[in-house]
Amino acid sequence: MRLLYVVQRYGPEVAGGAETHCRYFATRLAARGHDVEVLTSCAASHSGWANAYPAGDSEIDGVGVHRLPVARPRDEAFFARLNERVVWGVRPAPVHLQQRWIESQGPVISGLRPWLAERAGGYDAVIFFTYLFHPTWAGLPAASAVAPTVLHPTAHDEPALGVRLYDTTFRHPSAFAFSSEEEAALVARRFRITQRRAVIGVGTEIDPPVDPGAEAALRSAHGLGDRPYVLYLGRVEPGKGAQELFAFFCAYKQRRPGPLALVMAGTVVEDPGRHPDVVLTGFVSDAERTALLAGALALVQPSYFESFSMVLTEAWAQRVPALVQGHCAVLEGQARRSGGAIPYRGFAEFEAALERLVSDAGLRRSLGDAGRRYTEANYRWDAVLGRYEALLSALSPAGA
């Protein structure tokens, strides 16, 4: 099949769940013999959307990449005011304000719609990640007029999902690819969709190669020595629950002193503060990420808003247990189905769950083994890509 992905940012240096999700699928489908291309912006960061890559065509891991420049950087102060009115307002905002909001959120990619109108018809499917940003809102109508389209909404129960402007966005795709049962149910309730759909999930490397030198180097670089640690993986920002986790862990250490550390590995968007038992590594490579997971007592996933959580299955693939945000339906559902994680709601449950994991090696093994079995059964890449190819094939003229 000839496939085109449309995503707001793309590249191995780009830190973002939806963007990584897109890259994993594009790269692996190309390796399976499909002709895969990506249409994206020249931005590397979602903060401001500044052009960082040169415009034009290139190839990354067998995937053809077409980059178009971002028309203008985001005015963060103006966007914040619009966001307060459109997303958090007590009454639905007028249509013209909703359109200003999606344009201000960005990234507005120069020439996106004409590019798709002219070329999308040459692909067997045009696939969009994620529902939230301007390229999907602007690009889906153009592509859907000339080609089968698929939307990976990567949706979670967040205020932005209620913006009325998205009502029409969700009518355009030929099909939906969902990451979890909870995401599929949420989108069905919110938009009453009737199109073809499938719960695909995201694949996980079951036995990723672990470089013992990478963990040792990270321990040395950040003064960890041989201390035990729990691990947070992802952008360090309030929207991911990182600031709450920092506060919870600091309170835990005040009440329960000891050698345990918290390692927060990922791009620091907003500094949570400083504490002698908290290590902020900044951005880490895939090899460093794998090594940090291998050495962790447990993963902590504190996000309130997830459609899947790739870090969770990555941890389970290495038999690492997890603590997860119980207020997030997706994380609570994954914990319940797998038996590989303990959900918590609020500090008291966080403290109790973390203390149990730290003090009980048998419990850690039991949870880690259950998570591994669940991941093997559901999220091996071969199984995930098989489900995905079946959905895409059904949209092609031959499949239809």
HEC assignment per residue over 133-149: CHHHHHHHHHHHCCCCE
- Per-domain residue ranges of the chain: 2-203+381-395, 212-378
Question: Is it true that the peptide bond before 130 is cis, omega within 30 degrees of 0?
Answer: yes
**Mean per-residue pLDDT, 4-17:** 90
The pLDDT assigned to 215 comes to: 82
Query: pLDDT (tens digit, 9 = 90+) per residue, 213-242?
Result: 888 888 898 889 899 999 999 989 998 999
User: What is the per-residue pLDDT across 248-270, written as a single tens digit (0 to 9) for each?
Assistant: 999 999 999 999 999 999 989 89
Q: Is the pLDDT of residue 16 over 90?
A: no
Three-state secondary structure call for residue 77: helix
Query: For residues 250 and 211, which has the higher predicted lDDT (pLDDT)?
Result: 250
Position 399 scores a pLDDT of 41
> What's the confidence (pLDDT) of residue 92?
87
Distances (CA, A) of 304 to 22, 158, 324, 330: 22, 9, 9, 9
Q: What is the mean pLDDT of residues 330-342?
A: 95
66 neighbors 37 (Cβ within 8 angstroms): yes
Distance CA(298)–CA(253), nearest Å, equals 16
What would the mean pLDDT of 348-356 be, rounded to a whole number?
Answer: 97
- What average pLDDT does this structure show over 302-307? 91
CATH of 2-203+381-395, picked from 1.10.240.10, 3.40.50.620, 3.50.50.60, 3.40.50.2000, is 3.40.50.2000
Asked, colleague to colleague, whether 2-203+381-395 and 212-378 share their fold, the answer is yes
Q: How confident is the model at residue 363 (pLDDT cuts 50, 70, 90)?
A: very high
Cβ-proximal residues to 221 (8 Å cutoff; 6+ apart), any chain: none
Average pLDDT score over residue span 37-52: 94
pLDDT at 168: 95
Residue 396 has pLDDT above 90, yes or no: no
| pTM listed for this prediction | 0.84
Q: How many CB atoms lie within 10 A of CB 256?
A: 13
The β-bridge relationship of strands 63-68 and 196-199 is unpaired
pLDDT > 80? residue 118: yes
Percent of the chain with pLDDT over 70: 99
Residue 397: what pLDDT?
A: 61
Domain 212-378, what fold? Rossmann fold (3.40.50)
- Whether 400 has a pLDDT exceeding 50, the answer reads no
> C-alpha angle 13/14/19, rounded to 5°?
135
* Mean model confidence pLDDT for the chain: 94
H helices of the chain, where? 17-31, 76-86, 95-105, 112-119, 134-144, 166-169, 181-191, 212-221, 242-255, 286-295, 310-317, 329-338, 347-359, 361-378, 381-395
pLDDT score for 207: 86
The separation between CA 292 and the C-alpha centre of its own chain, rounded to angstroms, equals: 19
Residue 46: what pLDDT?
A: 86
**Spatial contact of 300 and 278, defined as CB atoms under 8 Å apart:** no
Residue 398 has pLDDT above 90, yes or no: no
